[in-house]
Every structure is written in structure tokens, then in C-alpha cells.
Chain A
Amino acid sequence: MLKYFLARLLTFVPTFLGVTLISFAFIRVLPGDPIIVMAGERGLSDERYAELVTQYGFDRPIWEQFWDYFTGVLQGDLGTSLVTKKPVWDEFFTLFPATLELSICAILFAMLLGLPAGVIAAVYRGKFFDRALMSTALVGYSMPIFWWALLLIIVFSGNLGWTPVSGRIDLLYFFPPVTGFMLIDSALSGQDGAFVSAVRHLILPTIVLGTIPLAVIARQTRSAMLEVLSEDYIRTARAKGLTPSRVNGLHALRNAMIPVITVIGLSVGTLLAGAILTETIFSWPGIGKWMVDSIFRRDYPVVQGGLLLIAVMVMIVNLTVDLLYGLINPKIRKR
């Protein structure tokens, strides 16, 4: 298992190099100039412009700039935001917990509903439940996310008044962030009703963000289960007189989990990269919104550093998925 882990870890290196280069190049390919954007509508004199270009080093050869950035990255220095003048690293880790918290809730929501739904649909294939579920999943998958979010807000926040419209917690509560995770911080603060308020704020964003992964997981689970259910070892399990729930839920599902884990991993990857629409609609202070804002401001260090950190997160998720393969099905470890 250790060898398998190290082999996987080794594949990190070229990916990391590639991502560093691409994230550096990506923002520079876009038209626009960070200094002009910073100056805003007032504009600035040519002398001042030249001065700033030299100050930020934009006049130096591009490969030299990259080398500076790359050596910085290796030393854990991602640079400083041109706009806020704060280190990219600090900004990222102030905002990332909000995204992570929402992503975890969304993927848990998707898995807790999607896995059983897919299993039941496969076991009762062709029956009413199967058809109803799979057409619902298709609708969920193809629905525009912003429309779905607005619809939920209108019904549950507007008409019914059950859930708040935006933010992470009611303004009534204030406490210094300890972990950055609102659910944990609010519980730690000991303030009455803070935790409940944090939960209520999470409900709608979780549903909105979890809808597409839910549909994907349900469909993938169903098709993987259908394949596994015709395997010989399922017949063996039934020949032992095991209950259907054990045959389907343990023997079949464990084998069906390999493709399902893959799509879960991919979903987590996209969720971590920032759910831009969801974060914008619910005013969720996460990295999705931060990245979009930075792109508009041509904040080079933030965009390249943020992209790199997101890519590393996605790589970690993928590595975890690879390790899970080996845990679920020991046969895979051999390859």
C-alpha cells in the first residue's frame, strides 16, 4: 500500500509544474493591464505608469518573472495581492474554509441521497421508482443552477420565510473566527442560537450546490450497480442466503463504488474550485467569488496563486480517490 501511495505521490510532480506554468501564463494571456485597472477612471500619467511597471517588475523578461514566481512558490511565497496588498496565501486561507464548509455539506448531501437512490433504482430497474428517479436526476442535472437557486430562495425564503436569503450567519452574532468553519466556530462561541443560525444559512446553498453532484452520483451509482448485479459473486452471495439488503448494500455496492468514487472525486474537485454562481447568489464569502473578482481586477498574483492552490486541493482530492480505490478493491493495488 505504501508503494502504491508513493507511486501516486510521484505523479504530483509533473502536474504541479504544469499547473504552476499554466496558472502563471493564463492571466497574462488575457488582454488588460493590472496597473491601468488599479488607476481606475482617474487614469495616471505616463511617468507614474512607467514607475509602477518597474516597481512590479512587469518590464522584465517574462521567463524571469516566472522564475521569480516559481522560486517563490517553492519557498511557500505566493506573492502579494496588487489590490489589497495582503499575501495571497493569507487571503486564500481566510476564504477557503467557507468554500470547504459549503463543498463538504453539498457533497455529503449529494452522497447521502444519491447513493441509496442509485442502489434502489438499480435493484428495481424498469419499475416506477427507477423511472421517476432517473428522470428527476436528468432534470436536476440539466437545470440552470442560478434559476434553481432563485426559485428556492423565492419559495423557502420569500414565501415561507424558513431560511435566510444570504450570508453565513445572522448579523446578531459575532465571534472571532477560530477554525474558519462557521458550524464549528458558532458551536464553540457558546452563543445561544448561533449554531442553529449557521445551519439555517447553509441549507439552501447546500441544496443548490449539491443538486448536480446528486444527479450525477445517482445515475452513476445506478449504472455501476446494474453492471455489478449481474456478476457471478452476487449470485454466490445470494446462494449463501444473505438478505437482499446485504447482497445489494454490501457485496454489490462495494464493487460499484469504484466508478462512483471517481465521479464523487471529480465533483469535489469542481466544488472546491469555487461554486461561483452559488457563492455569488448567496453572498457566500468563498474563493469562487474571490477568484472572479481578482480576474476582473487583473490581480496577477492572486489569480496565479489562487489557481495553483485550488489545483493542489484538487490534486489532493484525486490522490485520496486513488488511495480509496485500493482500499475498496485490493485487486487494484496490484496494478
Chain B
Amino acid sequence: MSLLKLRNLSVEFATAGGGFRAVDQVDLDVAPGEILAIVGESGSGKSVSMLAAMGLLPWTATVTADEMSFDGRDLRAMSGRARRRLVGRDMAMIFQEPMSSLNPCFTVGFQVKEALRQHLDLNRRARHARAVELFEMVGIPDPEKRLGNFPHQMSGGMNQRVMIAIAIACKPRLLIADEPTTALDVTIQAQILDLLVSLQRETGMALILITHDMGVVAETAERVSVQYAGQKVEEQRVEGLFDTPHHPYTAALLAALPERATERRLPTIPGVVPGQFDRPEGCLFSPRCRFADETCRRVPPPVQGRELGLARCHYPITSDARRKESAS
């Protein structure tokens, strides 16, 4: 049974220019102990769909879904109090900007212990011991001293480790990492990713990794969900996805990886993700798709079967087509 289950999730933001649909009919399942990657460009609704699951969207957002459940419990029907018991304990999240995600007015120790105090029945001394233990787990040297530091006294990488410590404080069953390495130095990025994966192995929690880095996906994820302009366009196991992408968007993303480039010039995807006012009538990717025809531009594509990676496409790429293409 899946731990987190989203069916037909949509999120709409009220803006000055009318409603803006940031997430559009997204389905998602995460099994206990699984690593799922959600990939897509900026503005593809990856973060928003996860924030919706956590109940962290601002008041301008309207969330609708046919099903939104955690461990079989309906998140939509839950009272605010019941949901707060779940959020931060069983499902936790870390964010993109570690420097601004920690409160500048409180020591990092306070911010870690606060999570423990909220959810676990520990006394002051036990909370302190647990905080030290957590800092050791996430690789912060000299934890006793570091607990008294303020966020501005530490580096971005250290702050992200603090964020991870806060997130795993109550042994969550699901950790959502929203581009956890984007704001960090390249050398630190690998360390943080390794930390997340090793923590996932140790604790057996499920991990959702939101990223736009296909290299990260290849190294860490077991299953991949590709989002484009608020829609899920493809979902596959990681080997299958890299081997045979079924959606032209996925194929184009993979072709743009430097490691996979065969020609002198790195292939790119022309154009940008459609915004609030230039949403195409048919397939959202059609203006940028090199296979698009009249049908694509007019009719929204159906979702294909699981054997075709649930691709949201009129003409999903099959392995036969690929073979034919590479032969020509």
C-alpha cells in the first residue's frame, strides 16, 4: 500500500490576473521506504504539489483532489490539529534555501528541540541528548557547541544539515526534499545528497526528491515522475526512464544532458514553459515539441498505460520508434 497517495491533485492560485493553475491533475504514489524523484523545469509545479500534500501553501492557493491520503488517512478530511500531529512528525520536508529557511532570531538548537517538543514526550535533558544525536547523524561536528549557534553563524551546507536534523527529528516515515542542494556549492551538493540517501537507508523512510538535476535522479532515485507545466507527463522506474523515455519532453530533457550528448553542440529544448496567459489549448508541450502536429495543438492528450510510462501524449515514443530513429 502506498504511504502517500495523490489522485487528480490540482492547485490553483488566486492572482490579480485571475486563477493560475500551478498543479494540474497530478497522480502520485510513494511506497514506504521508496525513493521517488520528481523532476521538471522551474515552474512545473513540483514544489507546489508537495507543499499541497504538506498543507503548507499560502492562503491564496486552492487545493482540490479526488484523493489525498497519508498511510490511508484522508488528509483533506482531517482537522487542522490532526494534520499538525502528522506534519513534522510522520511527514517532514526540507527546502531549497537553507539560509532563509531557519529563523534568524533563534539558535539552531532551539529550532531542533522545538520539533522534538512539539511531537515527542521527552523532558528537557532527553531533548538535548536527542538534538546532539541528530547533529551527529547529519554530520555536524562539535554538536554541543553548534547547538548554541545562530543560523547566520554557520554556512549554507551546515544550515541544510540543521534543516535535515529538524526534519528527521521525530523519525518521519516520509521526507520530502525540495531541491535541497540547489542553493549550495557543488562540492557540498554531493555531500548533502549522500547524507540524505544514507539516512534514508538507515531509517527506512520514504524519500521524495524534488530536483531538476537528471544526474541526481540517475544516482539516487528508484522511480521518477516527470512534471511539465503543472502536469505529470511521465512516470517510470529510473532504469526504464533513462533507457526508453516515452514522452518527448522526457526524451528532450535526457538529450540535453552533457553526458549523453553525441554531437558537438548540446541539444536544448527551445522556448519556455507556458505561463498563466499563454497556455496552449491542446498538449501543453506542443509548442516546444518537435513531433507535435495539429491534433497535439488542439486536443489535450490522454494518459497512456503503465507500459508507456503513463505518458501524457498523443504519440508516445516507443522502443520501436527509437530504434527506427537511431537507425535512420
Contacts and interface: CB of A to CB of B under 8 A. Distances in A.
A176 interface: no
Q: Indicate the size class of the contact surface on chain B.
A: 20 to 34
A144 interface: no
- Chain A facing B: main interface SS: helix
B122 to A, nearest CB: 15
B85 A239 contact: no
B46 interface: no
B104 A329 contact: yes
B118 A331 contact: no
B105 interface: yes
Nearest to A124: B59
Contacts of A241: 84-89, 115, 118-119
A328 interface: yes
Which one of B58, B80, B103, B104 has the highest number of Cβ atoms from chain A below 10 Å of its Cβ?
B103
Contacts of B95: 232, 235-236
Nearest to A237: B103
A174 interface: no
A47 interface: no
A244 B86 CA distance: 15
Nearest to A241: B88
A235 B58 CA distance: 9
B97 A242 contact: no
A236 B104 contact: no
B134 to A, nearest CB: 14
B28 interface: no
A235 B103 contact: no
A317 to B, nearest CB: 22
11 contacts: A230-B58, A232-B97, A236-B102, A238-B55, A239-B93, A239-B167, A241-B85, A242-B84, A242-B118, A243-B84, A330-B152
List the 6 closest A-B pairs by CB distance, nearest first: A241-B88, A240-B88, A232-B100, A233-B103, A241-B84, A241-B87
Interface of B: 54-56, 58, 80, 84-89, 92-93, 95, 97, 100-106, 111, 114-115, 118-119, 150, 152, 163, 166-167
Interface of A: 230-233, 235-244, 251, 254-255, 328-331, 334
Given A238-B87, A243-B84, A251-B106, 12 more contacts: A235-B101, A236-B95, A236-B101, A237-B103, A239-B167, A240-B87, A240-B114, A241-B88, A241-B89, A255-B105, A331-B150, A331-B152
